[in-house]
Structure 1
Amino acid sequence: MSDQSVNEEDEDKENLDPAEAAEAAETEETPETNPHPDCSTAAEPREDDRDPGSDAPARQAAMLDSGGLEEAASQTDLTDAEQHGDRTDDVGNSTATVKVRLVPEGHVMTVAFAIGLSIQELKRHFASELKVPAELLHVSLHGGVVEEQQSLMALGVQPHGSIQLEMSSSDPTGHPLRPLRPPQQDSMPDVITVRVHTDQGEFQQVVVEIERPPQQKLFLGGFRHRLTGAEFHHAAVQTPPRRRPDRGVAVFSRDTQTVEMRSRAQQCPVSTSTQMTGIGCYVSCQDDKLVAPGNYITADQYHDRRLRAVIRLQAFARRWQARRAVERLRMERDRRLAWQEQEQRRRREEKEEQLRDERRRWRNPQRGEDFTLLYHALERWRCEEEQRIDSSLRGAERKAALCSLLEQETQLIASIGRHRIAAQHNNRDKAVSSFLDKCAAPKRWTAADGQLTQMDSQQTVRARELRDLYCSVNMAAGSQEQRLDVLMTLKHTVKEQDCQLTRDMVELIDREADLMMRGVKETNLEGLRKRISTLFLQYIKTPSFNPQAANLLKVPQSPSQLKNDIFFCRGCRRYLRSAAFGPPAGARRAGRCRACAELDNNARRREDFSRYSGILSRLRADEQRVSGETGIPLLLQEQDVCHLVDVVWGCQSALSACSDLHDLVLVRWERRRDWSPWNCILLSKDETSAHLEVESVHEAYGETFVRSVEHKHAVARRHFSQIPAVAEYLRRQEAAAPGDRLVSRPITTATGKHPAGTSAH
């Protein structure tokens, strides 16, 4: 091309600044313009390519596929005969729009794909796009799985047509299907249809796939052709970035970090000199400094000074390490002393709390165990006084003192009885109130989210109404009108059912109302009101009137349940449920009920087993924490622990002879074996932690001490082997280790009676 033509072409083009080019790019609908002035292009998305479920999210700048344009250009050169002939290869190379829906996310990805390629090639393409292994992808069409060998042409896809497939992952947890770019960045479709004007003057539809650039390119402006009006953008926007040439060497760092070191000696030429004062040249000496030489240091002196410095540094470093070690030891000692002090304080407070609780039980007894404690203290006081009288008095004085002691004991027993009656009355009111509250309580359950859900049924609402009415009946009498209102409400409530109980209640209510109208004093009406309250409580406890009471009654209403759960008490000669009997572990059959056993204890023996309940509860908690199951400790009762502590171990620690029951604990003798009466030792709480650290008791303790402990184990084995449940456990243990020891069998007699000293079971 000549210079004149080049200048004319330059004059026909006017440069565009980046702002004008950006405006033109915003108004332009095509992502790329055809550089030929005679060929016009129109790029518009196909209606089939628009995703109806998406809102056309914004995406990064797109680039036209150059291969698609080349293919379009090559198609314009085809002859009419070739276009209408049978071209199987060309049809296979034709592209179609493939829309893939990702399951279960619902994202839709669109791509232009050759219809002659197989589904396996399509899976490889999407595997690279989604960063998921190809073997984990499954392609389906209309709910059916598509084989990998099938092509799009075999699925019925026409050239330049479209098809929608579904793709899922066999491992949705480890490899979910998510597009690498968020949908918000999509502003253009993945595939567009471009209408190209060929040289023959025809328009041809070409499917063009949009390539997403890996980085954001800067817009550098462009120019506009004056004659045709075509706009051309900068080449950097329309072409991929320029790649650096491959040097054939793998470079892992910058060139500035790999430097070649080279040593080279230089010598000044003879003509070089320093500037100094001379003829015709004056140099100021105002800023000159006078340098005086110092003392010369030899190599030995230098190394000696370095050695002393190193030794000094080592001394300071070792001093610092020693101080840290001492500080660590001091902190450990302080923590140990603080822990010991805390443990001692905790044990002291625990013992004081037990003593305070015992004194509180003496002063204000409320339960049966509290009164048993009082009777035990009374018996101990009587024995001490009797010993004092026997040791100091003789003859008639002794008899008079014993009579006075008997009279004091009688008065104390009567006082305890009065306290017991008052406590029973108070406990009865608490029991009735608790029974009514349980009947009126709504049904509760915990939902899946952890919240507590409550529901009222017809039975709970009925029970709540009866509870409120019972409280109103027992409330202190106010005015006469209020009492009559309560009585009328109660009368209408019980008249709903006709039976002997309701008729008696109605008669008593009418009687009280008549007496109140006659002006009778309230003190004379207390007995009548108590009868009404008692009958109404019986009415509430009847399941036919209050269905909620059936779940809380101790005696079942079904005769079939009473048949196998009733035993005969040989003390009070009554038939009672099994819950009324509280025998020790050595009993074999039902004997006396709890009331008879307690009455006999208060009258004769007056033993207090509540002191051993703490030892038994501590033993069960330790075994549950160590082995996860209690075993034999769950079978033992307070009476059995009393025999084991008092008779076998003499009520004192095996090591320190401590006799305080609040400080004694039953622990394992050999910690590798389960607890049993023949594998235990009685120690104080301070000795327990040290004993449990012992690996071998035969090496830690002396032979004499070990033999004495084994003798106590033999005594305990001989006594507790008479208990059926413990004997069965012992037989299983002996079967596992035969030839160890003989086991005594439970004692049974022909008459069915068990030996003296054992209670009923």
Structure 2
Amino acid sequence: MDNTSDSCLDVATTEKSGAEQPSASSESPVCEAENGSPAEKLLLSEATGSTIKDDEALRRARANADETIQSEKLQCDQEDSPGKAVQQDYHMPDVITVRVQRDSDSFQDVVVKIERPIYHKPFVGGFKNKITGVEFHNAGAQTIPKPRPDRGVQVFCRETQTVYERNKPQQTKNTTSTQMTKVGLYVSSVTDKLISPAKYLTAEEYHKRRLEAVIVLQTYFRRWHAVNVVRNLRELKGLRLAWEAQEELQRKKEKEEKLRREHERRLNPKTKEDFELLYHAVELWRQEETEQINRSLTGAERKAALCGLLDQEAQLIASIGRHKLHADEENQQKAILRFLDKCAQPKRWKAYDGKITEMDTQDILRARELFEIYCSISMNGIPKDERRDVLLTLRRTVKEHECKLTREIVELIDREVDLMSREVKECNLEGLRKRICTLFLQYTKIPEFNPEVARILKVPSSPLKLYKSISCCQSCKNHLASTEFPVPARSRTIGKCHLCCKLGNEARQRETFLKYRLMLENLRQSEADYQDDAKIVFSIQHQDLQYLVETIWGCQSALSVCNDLYDLVMVRWDKQHEWSPWNTILLTENEADAHLKLCSLEKAYEATFIDGIKDKHTQAKKYFAQFPAMASFLQRSDNQANANEFLIATVTNSSILGKTN
């Protein structure tokens, strides 16, 4: 039985006695332990937990002399705590003697042996007293496991644990016989063969020959494998060279196409970027001619040459101005058609299945009708009958609303019809027709006559909405909308409008910003693909990007020193953070693709190169820290960098302390 030292229960078990013991009488039992504890301070209790009184016999506990007796020893201290059982620091010996009363005059001493466990019983369930810290095991831990039923087979025996090996030779049933020559029988020996024994081959020689054969096989196999590997490498090399040649050819074609487009734009300029290129080319030509004149001529000849150069420059600028007027007329007509077509577009939305649904409202149908009428009256070279029908349709349309503008349009229509009936030449009617188109365009831009135009017009219907978005240009002194002013990151106040900046550039600097605009568009597109809520790239303008490229990066790639701005792009230095002037690098397109695939910048680049890039980032920080628009982004990036450094230092210190411990 178990005797736990820290428990308040002392459990004892008696061996089954061989002799029959008489039953106890009704007198109180008397117990005496070997440790000399007085009997009056001992208590006996049943397995159920109830205490056996002094005037009760052990028979009441349902225990005979030959049965196991389980007792519980508690000491009663009447002096300290009367009527209360107190646990005593008691260690039960291996053998105790229990005196049992047999009758009124005779007693018998019973020897009880204590069985102690030879192993530490694991805690497999029970409860613990929080006050005393005593653990009580459940019944499953105190019960002897149930023995397995006897199956009648002896398991642990020599026969079941011993293996016997037997060797038994057997004779095959394939019997053969040989017939020999004997008396009375002749057997021919013509087909007989004389067999002589060959050289005896030892095991070492046999395995050596097998090894040599294996080496020969491996040699041929490795040669075959090497030939295949070389063939595959040669094929891959050919494919790589073909791809590089194709890429080089593609780059040459793209560059030639780019030069061709630039040459075409200079010959037939149409947009403001085209005219910027022309003025820039004129400025470069003027600077080269001026340098040549200053080098080669002096005195009066130099002054005369400079005057001639000035006349040539004036002629070139006048020629560019004529081209510009013609291009403005074409662009204006295209802008008008694009504006009216935008008003006539149906409403579109995407359904749940991905299909696009279009819907035409009454306002859209009205705008489409006006757009078709305008295209018809602005067309040249049509017959007189068709022109007359178009004018009558226009007259019916504008007669729906009565105002000064419609009356003037109707009057002009009647005048043109009257002149056409008198066989007036078309060249004399061009001014009248342009006036009709201009007035009808004003008619289409009035929301009362064309309701759909209200959502496209820049000027709101109420002038009160313009007060907060109107600024005065410091050059032309005109009050314009805020969208008409360039706002670079380094600006602090509203300066010149777009038109004044354009005129100033054409008259003085004659710089071209096309390359920087294209670079900024590519940069914004690449940042939008990251989808990480980048903001800095959309706050800077092409003037800021020009300063970065020219002043800080020197108009050349950081790796290959390529200075062709059409091939250079700006990408993130650390792709984990958003783009900023202090987190960027200027590279070619191929170098940028390879840079963005890197996992670790420290492993890919040398420390000297990284230090040079960080110096450029520091220059960009000093420059853009002066401007209010970029100061907030710079402060946020510094706080984030400090937090990252603190986190890295904390993790490093924690790892060092962990290794030390």
Deviations 1:312-336 (A, max 9, x none): 2222222233234334443444444
**1:384 aligns to 2:315 (yes or no):** no
Give the 3-state SS of the residue equivalent to 1:662 in structure 2.
coil
Are the structure 2 counterparts of residues 542 and 674 from structure 1 closer, same or farther at C-alpha, using a change threshold of 3 Å?
closer
What pairs with 1:614-625 in structure 2 (closer than 5 Å)? 614-625=518-529
**1:307 aligns to 2:211 (yes or no):** yes
Contact 2:621 2:634 in 1 (8 A): no
Are the structure 2 counterparts of residues 714 and 285 from structure 1 closer, same or farther at C-alpha, using a change threshold of 3 Å?
same
**Which residue number corresponds to residue 666 of structure 1?**
570
> How far does residue 558 in structure 1 lie from its aligned partner after superposition?
3.5
Counterpart amino acid of residue 299 in structure 1: L
Are the structure 2 counterparts of residues 715 and 474 from structure 1 closer, same or farther at C-alpha, using a change threshold of 3 Å?
same
Take 2:437 and 2:604, find their aligned partners in 1: how far apart are those partners?
71
**1:540 aligns to 2:444 (yes or no):** yes
Q: Percent identity?
A: 49
**Which residue number corresponds to residue 200 of structure 2?**
298
**1:503 aligns to 2:396 (yes or no):** no
Contact 2:534 2:578 in 1 (8 A): no
Counterpart amino acid of residue 582 in structure 2: W
**Which residue number corresponds to residue 553 of structure 2?**
649
Take 1:627 and 1:502, find their aligned partners in 2: how far apart are those partners?
52
Equivalent of 1:722, from 626, 629, 632?
Answer: 626
**Which residue number corresponds to residue 266 of structure 1?**
171
Contact 1:276 1:283 in 2 (8 A): no
**1:676 aligns to 2:580 (yes or no):** yes
Contact 1:581 1:593 in 2 (8 A): yes
Take 2:643 and 2:349, find their aligned partners in 1: how far apart are those partners?
55
> How far does residue 560 in structure 1 lie from its aligned partner after superposition?
4.4
Counterpart amino acid of residue 511 in structure 1: R
Counterpart amino acid of residue 601 in structure 1: N
Give the 3-state SS of the residue equivalent to 1:564 in structure 2.
helix
Are the structure 2 counterparts of residues 445 and 698 from structure 1 closer, same or farther at C-alpha, using a change threshold of 3 Å?
closer
> How far does residue 430 in structure 1 lie from its aligned partner after superposition?
1.4
Take 1:487 and 1:672, find their aligned partners in 2: how far apart are those partners?
64
**Which residue number corresponds to residue 519 of structure 1?**
423
- When structure 1 is superposed on structure 2, of 295-304 and 719-728 the one drifting more is 295-304
**Which residue number corresponds to residue 248 of structure 2?**
344
Are the structure 2 counterparts of residues 284 and 712 from structure 1 closer, same or farther at C-alpha, using a change threshold of 3 Å?
same
Counterpart amino acid of residue 298 in structure 1: Y
Contact 1:276 1:282 in 2 (8 A): no
Are the structure 2 counterparts of residues 388 and 463 from structure 1 closer, same or farther at C-alpha, using a change threshold of 3 Å?
same
Contact 2:488 2:543 in 1 (8 A): yes
Counterpart amino acid of residue 606 in structure 1: R
Equivalent of 1:403, from 304, 307, 310?
Answer: 307
**1:482 aligns to 2:482 (yes or no):** no
Are the structure 2 counterparts of residues 502 and 289 from structure 1 closer, same or farther at C-alpha, using a change threshold of 3 Å?
farther
Give the 3-state SS of the residue equivalent to 1:533 in structure 2.
helix
Contact 1:648 1:715 in 2 (8 A): yes
Counterpart amino acid of residue 567 in structure 1: S
> How far does residue 687 in structure 1 lie from its aligned partner after superposition?
5.0
Are the structure 2 counterparts of residues 352 and 297 from structure 1 closer, same or farther at C-alpha, using a change threshold of 3 Å?
farther
Counterpart amino acid of residue 171 in structure 2: Q
Counterpart amino acid of residue 455 in structure 1: M
**1:557 aligns to 2:461 (yes or no):** yes
Deviations 1:434-467 (A, max 9, x none): 2222222222222222223222221222222222
Take 1:285 and 1:614, find their aligned partners in 2: how far apart are those partners?
108
Take 2:474 and 2:303, find their aligned partners in 1: how far apart are those partners?
37
Take 1:267 and 1:701, find their aligned partners in 2: how far apart are those partners?
82
Contact 2:181 2:187 in 1 (8 A): no
Take 1:670 and 1:576, find their aligned partners in 2: how far apart are those partners?
41
**Which residue number corresponds to residue 234 of structure 1?**
none
Contact 1:584 1:640 in 2 (8 A): yes
Take 2:397 and 2:589, find their aligned partners in 1: how far apart are those partners?
61
> How far does residue 617 in structure 1 lie from its aligned partner after superposition?
3.4
**Which residue number corresponds to residue 358 of structure 1?**
262
Counterpart amino acid of residue 435 in structure 1: F
Counterpart amino acid of residue 403 in structure 2: C
Deviations 1:37-62 (A, max 9, x none): xxxxxxxxxxxxxxxxxxxxxxxxxx
**Which residue number corresponds to residue 367 of structure 1?**
271
> How far does residue 653 in structure 1 lie from its aligned partner after superposition?
3.6
**Which residue number corresponds to residue 449 of structure 1?**
353
Equivalent of 1:472, from 347, 368, 376?
Answer: 376
Give the 3-state SS of the residue equivalent to 2:555 in structure 1.
coil
Contact 2:571 2:585 in 1 (8 A): yes
Are the structure 2 counterparts of residues 478 and 608 from structure 1 closer, same or farther at C-alpha, using a change threshold of 3 Å?
closer
> How far does residue 596 in structure 1 lie from its aligned partner after superposition?
1.2
Contact 2:363 2:451 in 1 (8 A): yes
**1:583 aligns to 2:498 (yes or no):** no
**Which residue number corresponds to residue 639 of structure 1?**
543
Are the structure 2 counterparts of residues 697 and 536 from structure 1 closer, same or farther at C-alpha, using a change threshold of 3 Å?
same
Are the structure 2 counterparts of residues 377 and 274 from structure 1 closer, same or farther at C-alpha, using a change threshold of 3 Å?
same
Give the 3-state SS of the residue equivalent to 2:458 in structure 1.
coil
Counterpart amino acid of residue 666 in structure 1: M
Q: Which of the pair has more CA radius of gyration?
A: 2
> How far does residue 608 in structure 1 lie from its aligned partner after superposition?
0.8
> How far does residue 295 in structure 1 lie from its aligned partner after superposition?
6.0
Take 1:505 and 1:313, find their aligned partners in 2: how far apart are those partners?
102
Give the 3-state SS of the residue equivalent to 2:314 in structure 1.
helix
Are the structure 2 counterparts of residues 293 and 485 from structure 1 closer, same or farther at C-alpha, using a change threshold of 3 Å?
same
Give the 3-state SS of the residue equivalent to 1:607 in structure 2.
coil
Give the 3-state SS of the residue equivalent to 1:661 in structure 2.
coil
Give the 3-state SS of the residue equivalent to 1:298 in structure 2.
coil
Take 1:463 and 1:489, find their aligned partners in 2: how far apart are those partners?
15
What pairs with 1:102-113 in structure 2 (closer than 5 Å)? none
Contact 2:532 2:578 in 1 (8 A): no
**Which residue number corresponds to residue 396 of structure 2?**
492
Contact 1:508 1:528 in 2 (8 A): yes
Give the 3-state SS of the residue equivalent to 1:454 in structure 2.
strand
Take 2:382 and 2:530, find their aligned partners in 1: how far apart are those partners?
61
RMSD: 3.6
Are the structure 2 counterparts of residues 278 and 652 from structure 1 closer, same or farther at C-alpha, using a change threshold of 3 Å?
closer
Counterpart amino acid of residue 430 in structure 2: E
Deviations 1:223-258 (A, max 9, x none): xxxxxxxxxxxxxxxxxxxxxxxxxxxxxxxxxxxx
Equivalent of 2:341, from 437, 442, 457?
Answer: 437
Contact 1:569 1:593 in 2 (8 A): yes
Contact 1:470 1:533 in 2 (8 A): yes
Deviations 1:686-742 (A, max 9, x none): 655666648455994465x666554443332222112222111111223345699xx
Contact 1:677 1:716 in 2 (8 A): yes
Deviations 1:632-685 (A, max 9, x none): 222222111111121223323445543322333334455665543234343445
Contact 2:346 2:360 in 1 (8 A): yes
**Which residue number corresponds to residue 414 of structure 1?**
318
Give the 3-state SS of the residue equivalent to 1:519 in structure 2.
coil
**Which residue number corresponds to residue 239 of structure 1?**
none
Unaligned 5+ residue runs, structure 1?
A: 1-260, 741-761
Are the structure 2 counterparts of residues 630 and 370 from structure 1 closer, same or farther at C-alpha, using a change threshold of 3 Å?
farther
**Which residue number corresponds to residue 756 of structure 1?**
none
Deviations 1:615-634 (A, max 9, x none): 33343444455674544222
Are the structure 2 counterparts of residues 535 and 294 from structure 1 closer, same or farther at C-alpha, using a change threshold of 3 Å?
farther
Take 1:378 and 1:408, find their aligned partners in 2: how far apart are those partners?
10
Are the structure 2 counterparts of residues 668 and 289 from structure 1 closer, same or farther at C-alpha, using a change threshold of 3 Å?
farther
- When structure 1 is superposed on structure 2, of 539-548 and 300-309 the one drifting more is 300-309
Contact 2:280 2:510 in 1 (8 A): yes
> How far does residue 371 in structure 1 lie from its aligned partner after superposition?
0.7
Are the structure 2 counterparts of residues 427 and 283 from structure 1 closer, same or farther at C-alpha, using a change threshold of 3 Å?
farther
